[in-house]
Amino acid sequence: MKYFEFLLIMVVFGLVVGCQKEAVVDQPAGIRQVPVEAAKAEIDAKNAQFIDVRSPEEFGAEHAEKAVNVPLEKVETELVKLDKSRPIYVICQTGRRSQLASETLDKNGFKEVYNVEGGTSAWKKAGLPIEK
């Protein structure tokens, strides 16, 4: 019986350690996750670029104040319009598309890339300014 308990503990431990290692590997080194409140303050303080990678329709309905629309599918072609030397904050609706866009920016030499955690949904929930 003790052998099976030991084996079970080792399997569970291996799964936990393996999952932790994967989570670290999934996040490229140049991308930082930032909560919406910190993003708002830092965008203002750093005079940073702020892009919303949702569709033009989603963006047009409402978006975080000062955000500029660069739909996810156009990020690579719009790189020349963005400044690699300035911090860039990326937002979408919940955080998934902005993570993909952040990875593209990171791979293309942007040094300070910030993915806004929770996206526009979290931005609105925090009571931060929205434009329509």
Catalytic site residues? 92
How many Å apart are CA 84 and CA 22, to the nearest integer? 28
How many Å apart are CA 71 and CA 112, to the nearest integer? 20
Can you count the helices (H) and strands (E) in the chain? 5, 7
Residue 50: helix, strand or coil by DSSP? strand
Residue carrying the six token digits 């609105």: 124
